[in-house]
Homo-oligomer: A and B are copies of this chain.
Amino acid sequence: MTGKNKQDKQGQIEDGIWLHCSNSAVRRASRQLGQLYEDAMGDTGLKGTQFSLMSQIAGSDEPTLKNLADAMVMDLSALGHTLKPLIRDGLVELVPDAQDRRAKRVRLTDTGAATQLDLTTRWQVAQDRFDKAFGKDKSEELRRTLAFISSGEFAKAFNGNEDA
Protein backbone atom coordinates (compact mmCIF):
# COMPACT_ATOMS: atom_id res chain seq x y z
CA MET A 1 0.00 0.00 0.00
CA THR A 2 3.00 2.28 0.18
CA GLY A 3 4.54 4.20 -2.64
CA LYS A 4 1.79 5.87 -4.54
CA ASN A 5 3.41 9.15 -5.38
CA LYS A 6 4.73 9.77 -8.82
CA GLN A 7 8.02 11.59 -8.85
CA ASP A 8 9.56 13.40 -11.78
CA LYS A 9 13.17 13.09 -12.89
CA GLN A 10 14.36 15.41 -10.16
CA GLY A 11 12.65 13.25 -7.57
CA GLN A 12 10.06 15.94 -6.93
CA ILE A 13 6.85 14.58 -5.50
CA GLU A 14 4.02 15.48 -7.82
CA ASP A 15 0.97 14.41 -5.89
CA GLY A 16 0.16 15.24 -2.33
CA ILE A 17 -2.47 15.95 0.22
CA TRP A 18 -2.35 19.61 -0.78
CA LEU A 19 -4.04 18.77 -4.07
CA HIS A 20 -7.00 17.32 -2.21
CA CYS A 21 -7.21 19.33 1.01
CA SER A 22 -7.76 23.07 0.82
CA ASN A 23 -6.56 23.50 4.36
CA SER A 24 -3.27 21.77 3.65
CA ALA A 25 -2.90 23.70 0.42
CA VAL A 26 -3.33 27.06 2.11
CA ARG A 27 -0.96 26.22 4.95
CA ARG A 28 1.67 25.00 2.53
CA ALA A 29 1.40 28.17 0.49
CA SER A 30 1.63 30.25 3.63
CA ARG A 31 4.90 28.55 4.50
CA GLN A 32 6.27 29.27 1.04
CA LEU A 33 5.19 32.90 1.05
CA GLY A 34 6.44 33.29 4.59
CA GLN A 35 9.88 32.36 3.32
CA LEU A 36 9.79 34.47 0.19
CA TYR A 37 8.52 37.63 1.86
CA GLU A 38 10.82 37.21 4.83
CA ASP A 39 13.84 36.90 2.56
CA ALA A 40 12.84 40.01 0.67
CA MET A 41 12.28 42.02 3.84
CA GLY A 42 15.61 40.99 5.14
CA ASP A 43 17.56 42.32 8.06
CA THR A 44 15.08 44.35 10.08
CA GLY A 45 14.71 41.56 12.59
CA LEU A 46 10.95 41.67 12.22
CA LYS A 47 8.79 38.89 10.84
CA GLY A 48 6.17 39.06 8.13
CA THR A 49 3.49 38.48 10.70
CA GLN A 50 4.70 41.39 12.74
CA PHE A 51 4.61 43.58 9.67
CA SER A 52 1.03 42.47 8.95
CA LEU A 53 0.01 43.23 12.48
CA MET A 54 1.69 46.61 12.61
CA SER A 55 0.24 47.57 9.24
CA GLN A 56 -3.22 46.61 10.34
CA ILE A 57 -2.80 48.65 13.49
CA ALA A 58 -1.47 51.57 11.48
CA GLY A 59 -4.49 51.43 9.19
CA SER A 60 -7.04 51.22 11.98
CA ASP A 61 -8.32 53.73 14.49
CA GLU A 62 -6.79 52.47 17.72
CA PRO A 63 -8.67 49.16 17.66
CA THR A 64 -9.27 47.21 20.81
CA LEU A 65 -7.52 43.87 21.05
CA LYS A 66 -10.84 42.25 20.20
CA ASN A 67 -11.33 44.45 17.12
CA LEU A 68 -7.87 43.65 15.90
CA ALA A 69 -8.22 39.93 16.58
CA ASP A 70 -11.47 39.84 14.63
CA ALA A 71 -10.00 41.75 11.73
CA MET A 72 -6.98 39.45 11.59
CA VAL A 73 -9.17 36.35 12.04
CA MET A 74 -6.99 35.52 14.98
CA ASP A 75 -7.72 34.11 18.39
CA LEU A 76 -7.75 36.89 20.98
CA SER A 77 -5.24 35.22 23.24
CA ALA A 78 -3.01 34.38 20.27
CA LEU A 79 -3.04 38.04 19.36
CA GLY A 80 -2.08 38.97 22.90
CA HIS A 81 0.85 36.60 22.81
CA THR A 82 1.95 37.73 19.36
CA LEU A 83 1.94 41.36 20.43
CA LYS A 84 4.16 40.73 23.43
CA PRO A 85 7.48 40.91 21.60
CA LEU A 86 6.36 44.10 19.85
CA ILE A 87 5.35 45.68 23.14
CA ARG A 88 8.55 44.51 24.79
CA ASP A 89 10.54 46.15 21.98
CA GLY A 90 8.63 49.41 22.28
CA LEU A 91 6.91 49.28 18.89
CA VAL A 92 3.36 48.85 20.12
CA GLU A 93 1.55 49.96 23.24
CA LEU A 94 -1.77 49.13 24.87
CA VAL A 95 -3.86 51.90 26.38
CA PRO A 96 -6.97 51.30 28.47
CA ASP A 97 -10.19 52.38 26.84
CA ALA A 98 -11.80 55.42 28.45
CA GLN A 99 -15.37 54.12 28.20
CA ASP A 100 -15.05 50.38 28.70
CA ARG A 101 -12.60 49.56 31.41
CA ARG A 102 -12.31 45.96 30.23
CA ALA A 103 -11.01 46.98 26.83
CA LYS A 104 -7.51 47.94 25.77
CA ARG A 105 -6.71 49.83 22.61
CA VAL A 106 -3.70 49.01 20.52
CA ARG A 107 -1.52 51.62 18.91
CA LEU A 108 1.93 52.03 17.45
CA THR A 109 4.47 54.03 19.36
CA ASP A 110 6.36 56.71 17.44
CA THR A 111 9.17 54.23 16.96
CA GLY A 112 6.63 51.65 15.89
CA ALA A 113 5.10 53.96 13.32
CA ALA A 114 8.50 54.81 11.89
CA THR A 115 9.44 51.14 11.75
CA GLN A 116 6.16 50.31 10.07
CA LEU A 117 6.86 52.87 7.35
CA ASP A 118 10.32 51.45 6.79
CA LEU A 119 8.95 47.92 6.62
CA THR A 120 6.33 49.00 4.13
CA THR A 121 9.01 50.07 1.68
CA ARG A 122 10.72 46.73 1.97
CA TRP A 123 7.46 44.83 1.86
CA GLN A 124 6.46 46.59 -1.35
CA VAL A 125 9.47 45.05 -3.05
CA ALA A 126 8.27 41.59 -2.10
CA GLN A 127 4.70 42.33 -3.11
CA ASP A 128 5.89 43.67 -6.49
CA ARG A 129 7.82 40.48 -7.02
CA PHE A 130 4.76 38.45 -6.20
CA ASP A 131 2.61 40.46 -8.58
CA LYS A 132 5.19 40.11 -11.31
CA ALA A 133 5.61 36.36 -10.82
CA PHE A 134 1.92 35.65 -10.43
CA GLY A 135 0.29 38.35 -12.53
CA LYS A 136 -1.03 41.57 -11.06
CA ASP A 137 -4.69 40.94 -11.86
CA LYS A 138 -4.64 37.33 -10.72
CA SER A 139 -2.83 38.49 -7.61
CA GLU A 140 -5.57 40.89 -6.65
CA GLU A 141 -8.22 38.34 -7.45
CA LEU A 142 -6.49 35.80 -5.26
CA ARG A 143 -6.39 38.20 -2.34
CA ARG A 144 -10.10 38.88 -2.74
CA THR A 145 -10.79 35.15 -2.88
CA LEU A 146 -8.79 34.57 0.27
CA ALA A 147 -10.55 37.45 2.00
CA PHE A 148 -13.84 35.81 1.17
CA ILE A 149 -12.65 32.50 2.59
CA SER A 150 -11.59 34.39 5.70
CA SER A 151 -14.97 36.05 6.14
CA GLY A 152 -17.63 35.27 8.69
CA GLU A 153 -20.00 34.82 5.78
CA PHE A 154 -17.90 31.98 4.46
CA ALA A 155 -17.60 30.42 7.90
CA LYS A 156 -21.36 30.46 8.14
CA ALA A 157 -21.76 28.85 4.73
CA PHE A 158 -19.14 26.25 5.64
CA ASN A 159 -20.98 25.39 8.82
CA GLY A 160 -24.27 24.91 7.05
CA ASN A 161 -25.90 28.29 7.51
CA GLU A 162 -27.95 27.14 10.48
CA ASP A 163 -29.61 30.51 10.94
CA ALA A 164 -30.73 31.28 7.39
Q: Give A residues with C-beta under 8 Å from B.
A: 2-5, 11-13, 15-37, 39, 48-49, 52, 55-56, 59-63, 67, 70-74, 107, 123, 126-127, 129-130, 132-134, 139, 142-147, 149-150, 152, 154-155, 157-160
Are B146 and A36 in contact (CB-based, < 8 A)? Answer: no
8 closest Cβ pairs, A-B complex: A3-B61, A133-B157, A24-B52, A29-B146, A25-B146, A17-B55, A13-B71, A25-B143
Interface of A is mostly: helix
Bound Cα distance from A151 to B140, whole angstroms: 20
Q: Which B residues lie within 8 Å of A35 (CB)?
A: 155
Q: Are A28 and B73 also in contact (CB < 8 A) when A55-B21, A130-B22, A133-B158 are? A: yes
Q: Is the CB of A2 within 8 A of B147?
A: no
- Chain B residues lying within 8 Å of A160, measured Cβ to Cβ, are 129
Q: Is the CB of A142 within 8 A of B28?
A: no
Note all chain B residues with C-beta closer than 8 A to A17: 52, 55-56, 59
Q: Which residues of B contact A107 (CB under 8 A)?
A: 2
Min distance, Cβ A42 to any Cβ of chain B, angstroms: 13
CA distance A30 to B27 in the complex (A): 6
Could you say which of B13, B27, B60 contacts A67, with CB atoms under 8 Å apart?
Answer: B13
- Which residues of the partner chain B approach A13 to less than 8 Å between Cβ atoms? 60, 63, 67, 70-71
